[in-house]
């Protein structure tokens, strides 16, 4: 695939989230929500996730390996994972054909990548914001080297960074895990 440049590269995970959500909806009718930066959720339970790992950022064009996982089948989860995870079958109460989910992913992921490559960042940001109600007004916490920080989400900026209002002002998060408080 054609390499992405800096500003567009920062939106790759969000674009993948839009694609995974759309694929799930096309394959099953379920309309999950997106949680910054890389989770696909039903309520507060994770249905799917995206991982982007970059290499070669010091050279000419970085390489990014993008992976996604969708929980299709019901599975017995131990402990707190059972509370934090869900599956398409658990949510729909019926069997879901994995091949259909994969087929939709193989359509949607390249479509969103192409949209990003063509510089359609506004379209991706708009779709992501519409699918991510918790990105504005949700109480969250995250861990830093200085300890746990807390605030209220205030949306995402044009580069995909999460904005969080704290007593000290608005902070801009570009990576990491944010938990609902």
Note the pTM of the prediction, 2 decimals.
0.91
Mean of the per-residue pLDDT values of the chain? 92
CATH, residue 172: 2.30.30.100
Q: Tell me: do 120 and 148 sit in the same domain.
A: no
Q: Tell me: do 40 and 122 sit in the same domain.
A: yes
Q: What share of the chain is helix, strand, coil (3-state, %, to 5)?
A: 35, 30, 30
Q: Tell me: do 28 and 97 sit in the same domain.
A: yes
Query: Which pLDDT does position 24 carry in this prediction?
Result: 99
Q: Tell me: do 104 and 176 sit in the same domain.
A: no
Query: Which pLDDT does position 135 carry in this prediction?
Result: 93
Closest by alpha carbon to 36, among 154, 149, 145? 154
Q: What is the pLDDT of residues 114-128, one digit of tens each?
A: 999 999 999 999 999
Percentage of residues in the chain having pLDDT higher than 70: 93
Domain that holds residue 155: 133-180
**Phi, psi (degrees; rounded to nearest 5) at 148:** -80, 130
Q: Tell me: do 42 and 83 sit in the same domain.
A: yes
Q: Tell me: do 154 and 167 sit in the same domain.
A: yes
Q: Which of 130, 150, 165 is the last residue of a domain?
A: 130
Domains held by the chain: number: 2
- Whether the pLDDT of residue 1 is over 70: the answer is no
Q: What is the pLDDT of residues 35-82, one digit of tens each?
A: 999 999 999 999 999 998 877 666 666 788 899 999 999 877 667 777
Residue 78 lies in a domain: yes
């Amino acid at each position: 695939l054609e390499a992405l440049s800096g500003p567009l590269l920062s939106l790759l995970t969000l674009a993948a989230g839009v694609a995974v959500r759309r694929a799930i909806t096309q394959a099953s009718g379920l309309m999950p929500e997106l949680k910054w930066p890389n989770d696909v959720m039903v309520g507060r339970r994770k249905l799917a996730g995206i991982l982007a790992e970059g290499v070669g950022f010091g050279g000419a064009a970085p390489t990014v390996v993008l992976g996604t996982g969708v929980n299709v089948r019901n599975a017995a989860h131990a402990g707190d994972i059972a509370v934090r995870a869900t599956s398409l079958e658990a949510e729909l109460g019926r069997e879901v054909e994995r091949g259909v989910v994969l087929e939709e992913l193989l359509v949607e992921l390249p479509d969103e990548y192409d949209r990003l490559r063509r510089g359609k960042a506004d379209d991706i940001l708009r779709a992501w914001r519409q699918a991510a109600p918790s990105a504005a007004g949700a109480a969250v916490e995250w861990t830093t080297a200085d300890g746990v920080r807390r605030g209220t989400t205030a949306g995402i900026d044009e580069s995909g960074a999460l904005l969080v209002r704290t007593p000290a002002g608005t902070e801009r998060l570009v990576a990491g895990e944010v938990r609902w408080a």
